Copies of this chain bind each other. A is one copy, B any other.
Amino acid sequence: MESSDLRSAGLKVTLPRLKILEMLESHPARHMSAEDIYRKLMDSEEDIGLATVYRVLTQFEAAGLVKRHHFEGGHAVFELERGPHHDHMVNLDTGEVVEFVSEEIEKLQKQIAEKHGFTVEDHSLVLYVRPKGGKKKP
């Protein structure tokens, strides 16, 4: 049961929060917009407002349960902060999101920031990719 996640984040255990966590957990692509979540909730006959979805996601983000990404397109997508850090690759043809890790890149980032007198608080790395040798319809 995920109620513990909420409690340990200092959030009261409420139905909307549980349902939203559930949506994020059960969604295969793992990256959903507020609208995506809202619509899935409507489909499940849940009576939860879009405003609540935004409020809850913002709280989750503040609590470190969720990460907000700004891939291209005017809207944000949210992802559960389970497991270790990773970056993303977005397939431009399908919108599919692939996760990857590179210790080497992480290390280089730290080195570069330090060379400039900074420390890295956070970073965002997104590769926009296309299938190799992928031809357009000729």
List residues of chain A with CB under 8 Å of any chain B CB.
70, 72, 89, 91-92, 98, 100, 102, 104-105, 108-109, 112-114, 116-132
Contact = CB atoms under 8 A, between A and B. Distances in A.
A131 B118 contact: yes
B113 A108 contact: no
Given A100-B116, A113-B89, A125 B128 contact: no
Say how many copies of this protein the assembly contains.
2
A128 B123 contact: yes
B125 A129 contact: no
Given A70-B70, A70-B72, A91-B118, A129 B113 contact: yes
B102 A112 contact: yes
Query: In terms of DSSP, what is the predominant structure of the interface of chain A?
Result: strand
A113 B100 CA distance: 9
B132 A114 contact: yes
Contact of A124 (B119, B120, B124): B124
B100 A112 contact: yes
A80 to B, nearest CB: 20
